[in-house]
Amino acid sequence: MPGLAGQILNYRGVKIVTGRDYSVLLFLYNTGARADEAARLTAGDLSLGRSCSVRLVGKADKIRDCPLWPQTAEVLKALIRNRAASESVFLNRLGQPLTRFGIYNLVRRAVAQATLTLPLLSQKRISPHCVRHTCAVHLLRSGVDINTIRAWLGHVSLDTTNIYAEVDLEMKAKALERCDMPDKVSVKRWRKGHNLISFLKTL
């Protein structure tokens, strides 16, 4: 699991956060869901059968479906065991639905914990929306087309999603600048091959 989200979730293959916090972060990274979308999630929104997916209710109550990794599905299965379809997926320590503010605090705690082994994280301002951005950029780099990413994130306008493409092109341009091009390129002079010319004339 590369990138910022991977750094928060794992360090050298070891989980930095576990339990409920891990399931929230993994869900955010897998789906690119907004904090309020994750907070509103109920057990009935999850389809954890043969083909695992989640129904997300976004802005203006717009509904979209998002596929889930088997790893995410297994974590969520354990989390919602014996819960009614109307019950929230993510609960706080009092057993009440986790709010979007609770999710923001959860991410801050995870970042603070990850900073102990990854000090560079202290220089970044990380929120649940950063995990959403990471999801989008990783989808783009994996070859997913921009229109699919738009539907994945629940963007109304493709212009919003195109920001990720522009960011990625900027990173590629910076990488290109690091490539050295020789000032002079040696070009061998072409010599006439009499045997070749004679052969071509016979065609």
Ramachandran class of 12: left when φ > 0, alpha when ψ lies in -120 to 50, beta otherwise: left
Tens place of pLDDT per residue across the chain (203 aa): 445 555 555 545 545 566 889 999 999 999 999 999 999 999 999 999 888 999 999 888 889 999 999 999 999 999 999 999 999 999 998 999 999 999 999 999 999 988 888 888 888 889 998 998 888 888 888 888 878 888 888 876 666 666 666 666 666 666 566 665 556 656 666 666 666 667 666 76
| Cα–Cα distance measured from residue 35 to residue 55, given in angstroms and rounded to the nearest whole number | 15
What domains are defined for the chain? 3-177 (1.10.443.10)
pLDDT at 2: 47
pLDDT at 180: 59
pLDDT at 28: 96
Known catalytic residue at 194: no
- Tell me which of 40, 132, 133, 150 is the catalytic residue: 132
- Tell me which of 22, 29, 133, 164 is the catalytic residue: 164
Known catalytic residue at 64: no
Q: Where are the beta strands (DSSP E) in 7-73?
A: 10-11, 14-15, 46-47, 53-57, 63-67
Known catalytic residue at 34: yes
Known catalytic residue at 155: yes
Known catalytic residue at 22: no
166-to-2, 4, 11, 192 alpha-carbon distances in Å: 20, 19, 29, 48
pLDDT at 86: 97
- Closest by alpha carbon to 62, among 154, 152, 146, 159? 154
pLDDT at 41: 97
Separate counts of helices (H) and strands (E) for the chain: 9, 5
